[in-house]
Chain A
Amino acid sequence: MLHTPTTEAQACAVVASIVEARVPLAIRGGGTRTGLGRPDNAVSTITSAGLTGITLYEPSEMVIGAKAGTPLKLIEETLAARGQMLPFEPMDHRALLGTEGEPTIGAIAAGNISGPRRINAGAARDSLIGIKLINGRGELVKSGGRVMKNVTGLDLVKLVAGSFGTLGFLTEVTFRVLPRPERIVTLIWEDLADEAAVALLSGALGSPFEPMAAAHLPAGIGAEEPRTLLRLENFSASISYRAAELARLLKAHGRPELVEGRASDALWREVRDASFFAGTQEAVWRLSLAPTNGPRATAAIARTVPGARWFYDWGGGLIWLAVPVDGEAGAAAIRAALKPLGGHATLVRAPDAVRAAVPVFEPLSEPLMRVTAGIKKSFDPEGIFEPGRMYAGI
């Protein structure tokens, strides 16, 4: 059954009735990321589609608030009209997951969905400053608020960011925003091997010239030749200066080409959305680790998982990895490769059978799993919200 509440009170009543019936409840925003996490076994669904609209926008305070079902597109257009943007460049999962529909701002919060700017401007969780959520007691709970500096009480905002609906149904979210830069350019170096490319990115990110995004696309990812990308965002005069300084600093790696405008935007959209892997039959993983360990991890994976392809974002600290689906989509080999290096792997795209058989999120140590189960129970004592989406039995 699909519930579409149009007020917070209705949403509380829906959740209360589900708690009463003790049936699993799926939460849906725009449904564009339905394949994320472990496949669900919910019989009822609640959608935020009836909860829409911007509730607060103060450009001079750099803050925007909206009901959870508000399309991301509306938020982005509203901000753009006043020369602002969400700081964390949220990824659009539709191409990669082959889904349709309109992504919602609530799901961006619930999934802590971030993009290339994350290395400099933080993740969605860093900009999320307030939430309202209906917990598994049918109570409306608020945490945070509309101001950036706020340390009042336990930070439940962070806990809920990235909990994929397992802790409750978000009705409203508030984000901090930033001004759009005057000018954006991308510097592209060609022909670097992974190790050299990550060294280049580390050098740039450790320089005073503040690259806002840093990625490496090995050969065959979107082009024949490997490409190493740095994105600068700033006032126009600064861009010319900083691009020249970076080229000088990194001259051992060759001379970069400078692109801007549509070509630059399109390239970063592909990086953000991992759309190099759209429409293929491969399983797709997302690996988070210390940047300089990136090339070591991929080298180890290449030895044990034939057919693996990858590219790097976040200066090398985020690896998008596509592998053949057969069996368990390389899960054991991938996680074994990360073991000595630190970091973790999340299975983002795979057929239901694989996602049911393989831990989609990195298994946690025993004490942390206990804490995780306890937190789930503290929000959702009957276990109705998206049971098992993140971890089996939670």
Chain B
Amino acid sequence: MSAIAFPVPDAGILARRDAIIAGLAGLVAPDALITSEDERRPYETDALTAYRRMPLAVVLPSTTQEVAAVLRYCGEQGVPVVPRGAGTSLAGGAIPQEDAVVIGVSKMNRILEIDYANRVAKVQAGVTNLAVTGAVSADGFFYAPDPSSQLACSIGGNIGMNSGGAHCLKYGVTTNNVLGVTLVMLDGSIVEIGGGHLDAPGYDLLGLIIGSEGQLGIVTEATVRILRSAEGARPVLFGFPTSVEAGAAVAAIIGAGIIPVAMEFMDKPAIEICEAFAHAGYPMDCGALLIIEVEGSEAEMDAQLARIVAIAREHGVGTVKESKSAMETAAIWKGRKSAFGATGRIADYICMDGTIPTGQLPFVLERMDEIIKGYGLRVANVFHAGDGNLHPLILYNCNDPIEAQKAEDAGNDILKLCVEVGGCLTGEHGVGIEKRDLMTVQFNEADLHQQQRVRAVFDPRWLLNPAKVFPLEGRIAA
């Protein structure tokens, strides 16, 4: 695939490469600077592997001060910077460019402070999402946003993308669970935004930084909310004849005033792929599967489930299967959370991430099917049913350039459909390069210019992750 354009590398910067590397070498420890081609290669892409660009150099600082020194230097030299966490972005958000320095926070991976009385933890940006929960789980606490990539992805990357997960129906996404950050700005100044308290003074800069995809500065530390885990949690599998009944059941559950912790949807192809991988005991005789998780004491879970089962029965549910053990629970979630990886074992895929108003679900599923068939492709659907965040996985063969192009076109058609029915291009993966050129479908010029003027407050010269989020044409600087 090559449809998405990158900016033409600045020849002047490429010509100065040696001098720039020498300058960087004076700022960080020797093992923090990566320049050889072999060692740079792991940084040339992220999880959108169809696109690759070799960066000028990679810097892996160990302290906020080092990040500040490197950022100030790049700013002074007019060298583009691409912030990087673990490089699991599905939108190409962390893909570099030839004239850019990658600043990765992976070495800053310490948990600095855990404060149970105030229910917060202070962590460095390179800590993995799962490590935060890992550090507090023995004491009965957890960090709520749980992207399926949580074993690998970093808190810095989660903040970059405002990531979500299966359990955010009840607990919210990253922006609802971060109370403060340490941000290094392009001129090297280090600012504290928010902290251990709930509301920061002045404009909500924290809300602006979260989801800004590395365009406003580099986050080096974060204060996150940790929550006490429920007494118990139990996922239940509901097999419906078709996705229409499953969609109607979701609406009816919410309409009845019940907000389960998670409501995840899989269609038949997705069920088959995930079951083959995880052996989770998913029912194979249904057209659509809902995984609904409830929490609380045993009696509370029984009571809530009884209500949910009654509603599901009204909507023609076939199989209802409760998890009976911690092992079954783990297998059920493993199947769902490895949906992308399991799909990757049978085909190449691109993962869409549009959100739709849930009432549009039956219409969108039908239209999506037509779109995919129109291109002669196959799709597997997993999504967060409670909030309408779809993840169609479009299957294709990456060695066939024509099919690859078709897959990309089909994906674009699906995202346009999401916007047409009142939704948006991306619910949790971010715009990156992938949806950059579709931004004009969702926003008009005034909308985009206002965003770019805010961006310019932090980076008037388009040096921070410049190839991302906004179409390359028609950009403004202030």
Contact = CB atoms under 8 A, between A and B. Distances in A.
Interface in B234-249: none
B332 interface: no
Nearest to B201: A362
Interface in A113-154: 118-119, 122-123, 125-126, 135, 139-143, 145-154
B165 to A, nearest CB: 11
Contacts of B359: 58, 60-61
Contacts, number: 250
A195 to B, nearest CB: 12
B207 interface: yes
Given A119-B198, A152-B435, A182-B257, A139 B207 contact: no
A365 B196 CA distance: 17
A154 B259 contact: no
A378 B198 contact: no
B458 A378 contact: no
B207 A344 contact: no
Instruction: Give the bracket for the number of chain B residues in contact with chain A.
Output: 35 or more
A142 B191 contact: no
Interface stretch (B29-37, B116-124, B273-281, B401-409): B116-124
Contact of B299 (A241, A362, A390): A241
Given A123-B199, A208-B229, A156 B450 contact: yes
A228 interface: no
Nearest to A83: B257
Interface string A205-243: 111100000000000000000000000000101100100
A291 B456 contact: no
Interface in A340-385: 342-344, 346, 361-362, 364-365, 367-368, 371-372, 374-375, 377-379
Contact of B457 (A58, A61, A112, A371): A371
A256 interface: no
A40 B216 CA distance: 32
Given A58-B357, A126-B176, A156 B424 contact: no
A367 B193 CA distance: 11
Contact of B212 (A125, A154, A374, A379): A154
Contacts of A142: 443, 447
Interface stretch (A159-167, A257-265, A267-275, A301-309): A159-167
B107 interface: no
A143 B116 CA distance: 36
B173 A374 contact: no
B458 to A, nearest CB: 7
A276 interface: no
A85 B388 CA distance: 21
B254 interface: yes
Given A126-B176, A235-B303, A179 B439 contact: no
Contact of B357 (A61, A152, A314): A61
Given A150-B427, A179-B258, A208-B230, A162 B117 contact: no
B316 interface: no
| Most B C-beta atoms less than 10 A away, residue of A146, A162, A378 | A378
A288 B198 contact: yes
A141 B457 contact: no
| Most A C-beta atoms less than 10 A away, residue of B115, B119, B198, B359 | B198
A57 B443 CA distance: 23
A141 B447 contact: yes
A62 to B, nearest CB: 6
Interface in B71-113: none
A149 B384 contact: yes
Contacts of A207: 228
Contacts of A296: none
A150 B252 CA distance: 23
B142 to A, nearest CB: 11
B456 A378 contact: yes
Interface string B376-418: 0000000010011100000000000000000000000000000
B269 interface: no
Interface residues of A, number: 81
A159 B454 CA distance: 10
Interface in B287-314: 296-297, 299-300, 303-304
Contacts of A112: 199, 204
B460 to A, nearest CB: 9
A140 B445 CA distance: 10
Given A158-B208, A372-B202, A153 B259 contact: no
Given A237-B299, A367-B191, A378-B453, A159 B447 contact: no
A167 B206 CA distance: 17
| Most B C-beta atoms less than 10 A away, residue of A119, A140, A208, A342 | A208
A237 B303 contact: yes
B253 to A, nearest CB: 9
B446 interface: yes
B197 interface: yes
A219 B443 CA distance: 54
A318 interface: yes
A193 interface: no
A157 B206 CA distance: 12
Interface in B421-478: 422-431, 435, 439, 442-443, 446-451, 453-458, 469, 478
- Nearest first, the 9 A-B pairs at minimum CB distance are A158-B207, A179-B257, A149-B427, A374-B457, A378-B453, A290-B196, A362-B201, A60-B251, A139-B446
9 contacts: A58-B357, A125-B204, A153-B443, A154-B208, A202-B119, A237-B300, A238-B300, A361-B202, A378-B478
